[in-house]
């Protein structure tokens, strides 16, 4: 009912909106990074290739991991703070550093949205890295605080496992929306493209978007019947690892294409 009302209001309001001078001025704003916009529409890119390769290797690991590795090695790879989880944290930290570099490089330019968004993403990826390894709890060896013992489903010092696994579901939704819906509306709807450009949100290219869609499908309800189970592996951990790789390549694309013009760079240096 509510969605129907919203749809009717939008259908009535949109023709009126398109006639407004402010709206026309907004959608006609020039693209600040045309090379980036062109990259977003591409399927065959550096980032999409290596993300796709990572997903392919992840599928092979689920399918043949029990045959290729001993149970001791699989335990070392898959358990909490094992190789998989530690690599996820390291990759997220690298993504945070790259995002921060992009934000700093755009200082003193007119690209406020891109600068603040990448600064926010730097903090977000840093927090995600800390959460991934429970802020080093098992490395350092400190005890879980009482509040976390009561509410954390894994008895760890992190926020994302508080009150069950709702954060895991929200994370999958985030990857799907950011990786699939956002690129679609960016390419096909000029108004939303201008909104996303104003916000400075990095946009996955077409190939990376497909990769992020495949990552969201890394669900035990799907992988177990098709590929089987790997000893001591929680598929969500592999999904988080692959997501970290996708985030890193998304930030690397920002680093490659979100560059101030030469005159702006000289002005910023001065």
Q: What backbone torsions phi and psi does residue 265 show, to the nearest 5 degrees? A: -65, -40
Nearest to 217 by CA among 177, 172, 161, 168: 172
Q: What pLDDT sits at residue 153?
A: 47
Asked if residue 206 belongs to a domain, the reply is yes
Expressed as residue numbers, the domain containing 62 is 34-269
Asked if residue 29 belongs to a domain, the reply is no
CA distance 234 to 154: 13
For 103-140, write each residue's pLDDT tens digit: 999 988 888 999 999 999 999 999 888 877 766 666 56
Asked if residue 240 belongs to a domain, the reply is yes
Asked if residue 51 belongs to a domain, the reply is yes
Q: Are 71 and 65 in contact (CB under 8 A)?
A: no
Three-state DSSP class for 152?
A: strand
Instruction: Give the number of domains in the chain.
Output: 1
Between 98 and 30, residue with greater pLDDT: 98
Asked if residue 192 belongs to a domain, the reply is yes
For 164-210, write each residue's pLDDT tens digit: 567 777 888 999 999 999 999 999 999 999 999 999 999 999 999 99
Cβ neighbours for 160, distance < 8 A, ≥ 6 positions apart? 131, 167, 168, 171
Asked if residue 4 belongs to a domain, the reply is no
Asked if residue 22 belongs to a domain, the reply is no
For 33-45, write each residue's pLDDT tens digit: 999 999 999 999 9
Asked if residue 124 belongs to a domain, the reply is yes
């Amino acid at each position: 009912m509510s969605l129907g009302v919203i749809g009717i209001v939008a259908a009535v309001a949109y023709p009126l909106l398109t006639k407004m001078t402010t709206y026309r001025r907004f959608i006609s704003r020039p693209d600040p990074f045309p090379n980036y916009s062109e990259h977003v529409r591409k399927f065959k890119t550096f980032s999409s290739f290596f993300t796709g390769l990572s997903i392919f290797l992840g599928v092979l690991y689920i399918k043949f991991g029990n045959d290729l590795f001993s149970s001791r090695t699989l335990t070392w790879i898959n358990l909490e703070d094992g190789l998989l989880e530690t690599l996820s944290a390291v990759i997220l930290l690298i993504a945070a550093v790259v995002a921060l570099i992009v934000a700093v490089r755009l200082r003193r330019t007119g690209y406020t949205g891109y600068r603040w968004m990448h600064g926010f993403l730097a903090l977000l990826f840093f927090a995600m890295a800390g959460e991934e390894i429970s802020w080093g709890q098992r490395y350092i060896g400190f005890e879980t605080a009482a509040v976390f013992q009561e509410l954390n489903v894994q008895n760890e010092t992190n926020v994302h496992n508080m009150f069950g696994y709702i954060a895991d579901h929200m994370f999958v939704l985030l990857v799907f929306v950011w990786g699939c819906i956002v690129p679609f509306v960016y390419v096909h709807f000029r108004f939303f493209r201008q909104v996303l450009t104003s916000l400075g949100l990095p946009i996955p290219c077409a190939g990376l978007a497909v990769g992020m869609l495949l990552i969201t499908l890394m669900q035990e309800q799907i992988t177990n019947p098709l590929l089987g189970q790997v000893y001591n592996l929680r598929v969500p951990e592999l999904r988080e690892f692959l997501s970290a790789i996708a985030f890193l390549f998304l930030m690397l694309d920002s680093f490659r294409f979100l560059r101030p013009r030469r005159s702006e760079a000289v002005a910023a240096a001065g």
